[in-house]
Structure 1
């Protein structure tokens, strides 16, 4: 589980970089974030 949480955190950090650099818009960010949560079994966003 720890490894999975680490992988999720790394994926989310990369996604946030894309968003902050303007390479993806808000809708794309939210859609990808939801997919990451589903893929990694995350039920709430504890990093917000």
Structure 2
């Protein structure tokens, strides 16, 4: 998979995760756990969304 494709897929998954959090369907702790896993899976080393 191309680097740009990976970044787009990561961004889409992060956006969906944010929707779950804002809809209160997951807790902040669950959000952080999934986000950390996504960052690891997609090899994202910096979080500029903070």
Output the TM-score relative to the length of structure 1.
0.94
Unaligned runs of at least 5 residues, structure 1: none
Unaligned runs of at least 5 residues, structure 2: none
Output the TM-score relative to the length of structure 2.
0.91
List structure 1 runs of 4+ shifted beyond 2 angstroms: none
Q: CA RMSD in A?
A: 0.7
What is the aligned length? Answer: 48
| Structure 1 Cα separation of the partners of residues 35 and 4 of structure 2 | 19
